[in-house]
A and B are shown apart, each in its own frame.
Chain A
């Protein structure tokens, strides 16, 4: 594990109208560690990831990365935060390779190098042969792996993954968790929202949520 930034959530709350979706979230998400968020549907996991990553403006409190608010006023995440979305969020008109490489090209990487790195990322997730396919032609599991490859390839300091293994078979799920672990070991903040106990167990820390609040905090026990 290498030293890196910490994603700090202080008194974080988020409301839609008068309805609170998040309340009183105080959490430090350090670099080099994988943190799992669990809880039933509607517990606030996805909303927490969105507010923490700067997609939503907090109603109360702050979310900062190295002291800088993650909310930048537009809903666009900072370049040092990467997302794996539950609904993938891929661009339909682009191929799988282009969906991955566009994240690099947006960060100034030359097209040729971006494509090469995209191919490598897809290969790590065993979908290199799908690089030329339009995303419309891919299955759910394939789409999810492309989305994970897109998040991994930019090697961002923060990786927020929402149900990253929901469409994957156990073998592939293990491979994905290994890749997320590698990201953490590289020094990234890795947060995974999941329903899967095995995924939660694979993380260094585990926070359960209910009705927009953190219930409990646990640490991974070496097996």
Chain B
């Protein structure tokens, strides 16, 4: 019965302690449940547990403060030893047990509301029991320590100093030193962490919590150290300024600042990490996909894809051809060729946010000779008179063959008889929309004066032997239009000389250092595997952390440039067409007819894998729980704070301090506490996210994946720091209004022996 009366009398403090325990246990259980289902690492909840170590004593102390008179009376009645411990800790333990049960329920059922198939697992309940047991021990200890004061002091209602006994007096400084040392160790470990280590250590995983608590303590310490300065500063200023400064550094203000800062930092760290994982997954998906829609063309070559897009989308509004060659893990063996003329229209907006957008580089990447689709219905050939030194191969019966990829993507050959001195012509099929010449040969040595398909002069770009010049841009082409006719050796095929020029590319990963030469040395110009399987000389023009289609390691160049001198595609090259999301249905149908199955981008979460996705979800739950704990910490001290504010305001009104000075005091206090909270939360959040969280390796990445970095999200950090500061400011301003706006408020100060 006495216990029930006590519970009713201290329902507020009891409820806050229960809610704090429930929030902690629920956060832990929910996160662990999510992690357990999908194979994530339970260590993600460590920062929350560290935060709980700070939040719970605050709530216990507030409850004990409420019960001070009750416990003093119990001591007067003779309670001591076990009975006193039971009296002191009973209510707190009951709150912890109730909170633990409630938290287990919320934490177990909560994930099933978010994730449809989340199980009610034994792991969550085990964690709930373990955390609740820890909380019970913690709150019991704090409750007992909190009432360790001389009975006479309690009976005289002298100012309460919780945890000031011998044990408490040692515990608090020791804990502060421990937190400080742990924070330094965490920072050291984070700064020296091995990026290739499979998993971070436990202390590092709990690091955001440790740094958060340390930041809260530093903020509180800064306020205490500022007390003499505040006293000196206030002595010569207005009453309001004096009061505001003194209030801001008063010892009972610091617990709120400490708790709110710690909660904000843990929330920022957890939410930043979750946000970074989501952003990484989204960016990875976009880069792997290349565009909102993608159609792989398993039966087509790169040139086929290029011509297909030209035919289906002549204006270049929706489709972009691409070819991806992957012959090995090295950057030079992972090459993506994109029809960059259409990049901005098709993929620019889709990829720009990833940081791997190519928009600014398109012009430079296209600044090289490229395959040039030609149109015509007749091939014209003029060969010169037989040369005196033509040798035994020369003869009047030679034929000249031109290989080209026709409108339908087939390599077709047009053949003419080479009649020295005559101009001969033959019809050409399949070149009415666009075709690409890929080879030229003759059965006997001839000197070609003219080779024209429709209106296009096929000698303009020059021709070279495929055996040497493609890999050596310094070698002379077989012909130079300015030097006279093209001499075709007997029986040897030539390819367009465009391929002899280095293709401008942008690289990602270890390209320059590992792939400088064909044998790993740096003797020659850099090369990649060309579309036709031959080495292709490239000229890197820029370097990125990641690129479309090859992501973390590889090379991207212009497809028409890459196609120059390439006779078809090797089987290692996958041809595909990328498309805008708003591509008309008839265009997509054309793709389908060509054998391309159009697929949208998969859900970005697939890029994370189930374990890492669970980790991100769990971190979000941890962040949410930290926010709730911060609010509860504010609430824990609010009742006492408002009561003190009421008495203080009444006292000030009694001595004639005018309202404007009381308002000024509230503003000064709110500015000092708000600014302290803001700066501490922002700095600690920045440090925690940028150093500690980044070092925990949240998402395991490989050499060919998008590098993962917990980049600081300024908006999130600012929102959390401002939110924390705003909460403190609101508490100050609400407290300032209490007792200031009601009639007869000062009367509360009078010990109304008559009216009682």
Contact = CB atoms under 8 A, between A and B. Distances in A.
A47 B651 contact: no
B750 A75 contact: no
Contacts of B750: 46, 49-50, 55, 85-87, 162
A130 interface: no
Is chain A's interface secondary structure helix, strand, loop, or mixed overall?
loop
Across the A-B interface, the 3 shortest Cβ-Cβ residue pairs: A136-B159, A75-B744, A103-B655
Contact of A150 (B236, B655, B746, B747): B655
Interface stretch (B242-250, B321-329, B728-736): B242-250
A29 to B, nearest CB: 18
Given A89-B650, A136-B159, A106 B239 contact: yes
Contact of A106 (B237, B661, B742, B747): B661
13 contacts: A21-B755, A43-B754, A49-B750, A55-B654, A55-B746, A75-B745, A75-B747, A90-B651, A92-B644, A94-B243, A102-B242, A105-B238, A106-B652
B748 to A, nearest CB: 10
B195 interface: no
The interface centre, meaning the residue of B156, B654, B742 with most chain A CB atoms within 10 A of its CB, is B654
B38 interface: no
B657 A106 contact: yes
Contacts of A140: 156
Given A44-B754, A85-B654, A105-B239, A57 B743 contact: yes
A209 B562 CA distance: 109
Interface stretch (A61-69, A76-84, A215-223): A76-84
- Residue of B237, B243, B650, B746 with most chain A CB atoms under a 10 A cut-off: B746
Contacts of B743: 57, 73-75
B389 to A, nearest CB: 110
Given A45-B754, A92-B648, A77 B656 contact: yes
B752 interface: yes
Interface residues of A, number: 46
Interface of B: 156, 158-159, 235-239, 242-243, 246-247, 250, 644, 647-648, 650-658, 661, 742-747, 749-756
B754 A41 contact: yes
Given A106-B661, A111-B236, A111-B237, A75 B756 contact: no
Interface in A4-42: 16, 21, 41-42
Contacts of A42: 753-754, 756
Given A41-B753, A41-B754, A55-B744, 6 more contacts: A57-B743, A75-B747, A77-B653, A91-B648, A106-B239, A115-B235
Nearest to A74: B743
A212 to B, nearest CB: 8
- Which of A42, A137, A212 gathers most chain B CB within 10 Å? A42
A56 interface: yes
A50 B655 contact: no
A150 B652 CA distance: 12
B744 A57 contact: yes
Nearest to A51: B747
B754 A91 contact: no
A162 B751 CA distance: 9
A79 B644 contact: no
Given A91-B651, A106-B661, A112-B236, A16 B755 contact: yes
B655 to A, nearest CB: 4
Contacts of B661: 106
Given A75-B745, A75-B746, A89-B651, A47 B752 contact: yes
Contacts of A41: 753-754
B292 to A, nearest CB: 62
Nearest to A90: B651
A76 B754 contact: no
B657 A102 contact: yes
Contact of B751 (A83, A87, A154): A87
Nearest to B661: A106
A100 B159 CA distance: 20
Interface string A118-152: 00000000000000000011001000000000100
Contacts of B250: 93
B749 A89 contact: yes
Contact of B239 (A46, A89, A102, A150): A102
B159 A46 contact: no
A204 interface: no
Given A75-B744, A75-B747, A102-B655, A93 B754 contact: no
Contact of A55 (B658, B747, B751, B755): B747
A73 B742 CA distance: 10
Nearest to A82: B655
A107 B754 contact: no
Contacts of B652: 91, 102, 106
A106 B662 CA distance: 11
Contacts of B657: 102, 106
Contacts of A154: 655-656
B110 to A, nearest CB: 42
Contact of A56 (B654, B742, B747, B756): B747
Nearest to B238: A105
B134 to A, nearest CB: 34
A115 B653 CA distance: 19
A172 B450 CA distance: 127
A183 interface: no
Nearest to B657: A106
B235 A75 contact: no
A17 B241 CA distance: 40
Contacts of A92: 159, 644, 648
- Find the residue from A41, A94, A112, A212 having the highest chain B CB count within 10 A: A94
Contacts of A47: 752, 754-755
A10 B95 CA distance: 55
- Which of B648, B750, B752: most chain A Cβ within 10 A? B750
Nearest to B237: A111
A77 B746 CA distance: 9
A79 B658 CA distance: 10
B653 A76 contact: yes
A65 B594 CA distance: 103
A106 B749 contact: no
Contacts of B237: 111
